Structure 1
Amino acid sequence: MNIKQVDEVKITKYILKATFDDWMSFSENDVVIVGAGPSGLAAAYYLAKAGLKTTVFERRLSFGGGIGGGAMLFHKIIIESPADEILKEIGVKLQKFEDGVFAVDSAQFMAKLASAAIDAGAKIIHGVTVDDVIFRENPLRVTGVAVEWTATQMAGLHVDPLFISAKAVIDATGHDAEVISVASRKIPELGIVIPGEKSAYSEMAEQLTVEQSGEVAPGLYAAGMAVTEVKALPRMGPIFGAMILSGKKVADDIIEKLNLKVRNT
């Protein structure tokens, strides 16, 4: 086997060329999703599948959010109907229990969901933290995000961010609802109130989380555990059906709104 010879400088040039081509492209988006956990990846899958230009920023160097930690580090998590239909669609194997409840392998779940989003056309960028939003007045709305390298923030360096525009921004950052929290604090005119998440009540939490997923301020959406924080809903623990269905619901809402906007222009 003869391996193609590539010198060090060419390696650098090729990486920089490919990287900056991407950054130039996704500086403008239809949708930016913050967080590559279950709700963020599910939203990315359905948005990209619908033809919307979708970029996911994830502060870690991995996919899956809370999926990998499972229940106290066990490698199986629970999915309930009708979320199992989405997992079947992306090729995740299901171990069926009674009453429409399934166990899934956490590693396969993460890998298949991320792969489905990427194959649908979503761009996922690791190691990037969203620490602010962009907004406009008349009408008041969120129009994008400010991004910084996670490593820069961890080092405690003061470095100004870059700005990424979007017609819709989804907070899929989990329990802390980080993007919505920043917007509520820095743009009080949006009228966002964050009462905080309640303790566990799985039967109620799964249904309410899906129902209340959606737009919390013009251009800014909550998905997954961010919904429980913003809407004072109970947590649900290592059952992930609502996370997937929440991401799909937010995607459906955005697809409908952006398509209506296109038809009306």
Structure 2
Amino acid sequence: MESDVKSDCLNCFALCCVSLPYMKSTDFPYDKGSGEPCRHLCSNHRCSIHGSLREKGFQGCVSYECFGAGQKVSQVVYKGKDWREDSRMAEEMFSVFPIVQQLHEMLFYLKQAIELEEAKDLKLDIQTLYDLTYTLTIKTPEEILALDIEAHRSKINPVFIKVSDVYRSKYRKKGKGSETKKKRPDYIGANLTNVDMKGQNLRGTFLIAANLTNSDLRGVDFIGADLRDADLSGANLAGALFLTQSQIQSAKGDKATVLPDYVERPGHWGS
């Protein structure tokens, strides 16, 4: 995907390392409040343990993706002004960042949708929503803070659903039949080894620690799915829809895992 919806830490003032709170868990080794700099953050906005985040218990950092919101807020919204220069501006910037992050995530999905041949009949609607969403990301801090994100999301979601339905239909025709309803609300820890799930809708599904080894996940809609510690070893995710780098970073896999071309294979997967 284009660089404007992918994090560029060199042009960001480490906003995710300061503005976002987290609690001690399997993803983080201690509690940190919103607006509190991570104890490993250096004065030049770099991480002192970047090369060993997983080993030190910061899996949440490894899997985080701002979709380009960090550099947008740092360099465009605040025109290169560092939050360290003004404590009042810093508080505002830390509130603006998560809002822009949500908008940039929407841009990521919209950008993918508009490139799909199967969604060509929806291209005008998608482009209109993309342009509107982009415009919201370059407003003043005051205007961004006043945005109703949920109202804007409600405008976009119906288009995502239409795109998903038309895109996945071609995969379901190649599979074992039409889409089936899940018999359970989630797949946490489920054994889904060697399962044919082509073209299925896994929107918002919990797949935490699920075993998806060697499963056929081609054309699956993964928007909002939780893949933390899911085992994708040998699984085929070619053509997966609305899959993010963050989701893949949080999962497990190996060299046999087939990924869509817009997602990079995580370095920690190994062989």
TM more than 0.5: no
Larger relative strand fraction: 1
TM-score (norm 1): 0.32
TM-score (norm 2): 0.31
